[in-house]
Amino acid sequence: MAPAPAKYPTSALIDGQWIGSSATFAVLNPATGAEIAQVPNLGAKETKAAIDAASGALPAWSAKTAKERANILKRWFELVTADTEALAQLMTAEQGKPLTEARGEVAYGASFIEWFAEEAKRAYGKTIPTTVASRRYVTIKQPIGVVAAIAPWNFPIAMITRKVAPALAAGCTVVVKPSEDTPLCALAIAKLALDAGVPPGVFNVVTTMDAPAVGKVMTDDGRVRKLTFTGSTAVGKALYRQSADTVKKLTLELGGNAPLVIFDDANLEQAVAGAMASKYRNAGQTCVCANRILVQSGIYDRFAAALVDAVAKLHVAPGTDAKSTIGPLINADAVAKVETLSKDAVAKGAKVLTGGARSKAGPLFYEPTVISGVTANMDIVREEIFGPVAALMRFETEAEAIALANDTPFGLAAYLFSQNLSRAWRVAEKLDAGMIGVNEGVFSNEVVPFGGVKESGLGREGAAEGLEEYLETKFICLGAIDA
């Protein structure tokens, strides 16, 4: 067994205490299959205890001034930043992404802590002109309460800090359920939060293999006033339904089917670089990956050839390999899905230009792939690939591109490449997505709102909007002013 770094815990966190269990599950390195650690396999009882702790800690934490909470978050940011290399090594071990990407994610995750430390002091209310001379109207912002946060495996630090940092900044307390594939990163950043001065019970982490049982406790408990979830649309819909009885506020960041549209007037080099960054980052395992690459006929062949050349330079290897640019997929199901989608496309007439098979690097590695001649009847167009496969579709007109791009129930991200400013603006307005990249393949950061439309979710994370998700607006009417 290759143990997890000793400086980080392998126990769950409830009310400031590191909690073990006789029932445990293994955390595996997807690149090698080696066991990294055993962590507690907790259930409904422990989840309730975590909610008890968060509820008990809420009054004191919410009573702190915004500046007091901000100072603690700043220390947390500094500790995470100082531990960048150790956290990156841990992330690569349990998630698989190349170390260069892991280091980038640590910085990305830390940026949310820093941003919301600053935003904590800007939870402004307002005064409203009165309608009656003897009254005064004001609004104030208050923390919504206990927050349940369910995080995914593909960005095991950033997807937690993007939820926890604004919650803590607003004065809320949290119970986090990390993915069973990547619990160690969650426990590591929780430890650093405690080291920074976050009080017991304010930040709790429940590790489990029984996500439905833990999620049910979170949704059923009326003390949990907010649920934030990043993951599949199917699970998001189930949590949405389960939260109805207690009328929780929800932030749902669900699946995507991002189109990347390349017009004839695009800068070819720019378009290839953008497609590479969007499609192959984290081995294609991001919810904003270009799932369908729509290319206008006049540039289609040149783009396809240039993309194949770029893909040939990618290096498939474990994330600890200094040359690695494509790490493993997270598990066997992920590899099987990518393989099935690719085979379906080929069976229906598409052509593999490069890749198209499992890699010799290991059982969870898949070759970076480009498939040409993809059409709307193929499963690869309808389903989220979540792997290193670029599916190229040909289009003729701007109107056709918009219709193809919007022909999906999802609407998280979309991309377009064009040197024509009028076209870029016009098409960006018409694409049904919450985020649009124009001549850019990667756009997410802490200062901009992240989220989708249609079945890609509800609410926004990051930016000023991200803090609002954890606040309630209270109206106060002051009467008898002239008495």
Distances (CA, A) of 280 to 142, 277, 387, 472: 41, 6, 8, 39
Element (H, E) at 439: none
CATH 3.40.605.10 fits 12-254+456-475, yes or no: yes
d(CA 91, CA 181): 11
d(CA 79, CA 448): 24
Tell whether the model's pLDDT for residue 5 goes beyond 70: no
Identify any residues that bridge with 259 across adjacent strands, giving them in sequence order.
292
With cut-offs at 50, 70 and 90, classify the pLDDT of residue 482: confident
Residues 467, 141: contact at Cβ < 8 Å? Answer: no
Do strands 146-150 and 35-40 pair parallel, antiparallel, or not at all (unpaired)?
unpaired
Residue 6: per-residue pLDDT = 64
- Average confidence (pLDDT) over 273-285: 97
Residue 442: per-residue pLDDT = 96
Residue 483: per-residue pLDDT = 67
Output the average pLDDT for the chain.
97
| 3-state secondary structure (DSSP) of residue 98 | coil
148-168 burial, b at 16+ Cβ within 10 Å, e below that, comes to bbbbbbbbbbbbbbbbbbbbb
Q: Which among 46, 105, 253, 367 is annotated as catalytic?
A: 253
Asked if 253 is an active-site residue, the reply is: yes
Residues 470, 476: contact at Cβ < 8 Å? Answer: no
Tell me how crowded residue 380 is: count the other CB atoms within 10 A of its CB.
25
Distances (CA, A) of 324 to 31, 100, 211, 336: 12, 9, 32, 22
What distance lies between CA 410 and its chain's CA centroid?
Answer: 16
Tell whether the model's pLDDT for residue 399 goes beyond 70: yes
- Average confidence (pLDDT) over 50-56: 98
- Average the pLDDT over each of 4-13, 235-244, 451-460 and give the range with the smallest value: 4-13
- Average confidence (pLDDT) over 235-260: 97
Domains 12-254+456-475 and 258-445 agree in fold: no
d(CA 465, CA 451): 10
Do strands 413-417 and 435-438 pair parallel, antiparallel, or not at all (unpaired)?
parallel
Percent of the chain predicted with pLDDT > 70? 99
| 3-state secondary structure (DSSP) of residue 148 | strand
d(CA 103, CA 205): 23
Count of helix runs (H) and strand runs (E) in the chain: 15, 22
Tell whether the model's pLDDT for residue 4 goes beyond 70: no
**Which residues, 6 or more positions from 440, have their beta carbon under 8 angstroms from its beta carbon?**
274, 415
Asked if 287 is an active-site residue, the reply is: yes
| 3-state secondary structure (DSSP) of residue 415 | strand
Residue 1: per-residue pLDDT = 38
Q: Which among 101, 105, 119, 287 is annotated as catalytic?
A: 287
Element (H, E) at 250: strand 249-253
Identify any residues that bridge with 370 across adjacent strands, giving them in sequence order.
354, 390
Tell me how crowded residue 222 is: count the other CB atoms within 10 A of its CB.
11
| 3-state secondary structure (DSSP) of residue 49 | helix
With cut-offs at 50, 70 and 90, classify the pLDDT of residue 7: confident
Superfamily in which the 258-445 domain is placed by CATH: Aldehyde Dehydrogenase; Chain A, domain 2 (3.40.309.10)
- Average confidence (pLDDT) over 158-183: 98
Residues 404, 240: contact at Cβ < 8 Å? Answer: no
Higher pLDDT, 185 or 5: 185
φ, ψ for residue 326, nearest 5 deg: -130, 115
Q: Map out the domains of the chain as residue ranges.
A: 12-254+456-475, 258-445
Percent of the chain predicted with pLDDT > 90? 98
With cut-offs at 50, 70 and 90, classify the pLDDT of residue 3: very low
- Average confidence (pLDDT) over 54-69: 98
Distances (CA, A) of 217 to 200, 213, 221, 309: 21, 7, 6, 50
Residues 455, 411: contact at Cβ < 8 Å? Answer: yes
Helices (H), 388-476: 398-406, 421-430, 463-468
Residues 171, 62: contact at Cβ < 8 Å? Answer: yes
pLDDT by residue (tens digit) across 70-94?
A: 999 999 999 999 999 999 999 999 9
Cα first-last separation, the chain: 76
Query: Could you give the angle at the alpha carbon of 141 between the alpha carbons of 79 and 463, nearest 5°?
Result: 50
d(CA 221, CA 44): 11
172: burial class by Cβ within 10 Å (0-12, 13-18, 19+)? Answer: buried
Residues 401, 301: contact at Cβ < 8 Å? Answer: no
Identify any residues that bridge with 457 across adjacent strands, giving them in sequence order.
253
pLDDT by residue (tens digit) across 330-365?
A: 999 999 999 999 999 999 999 999 999 999 999 999
DSSP track, 349-374 = T-EEEE--SB-TT-TT-B--EEEES-
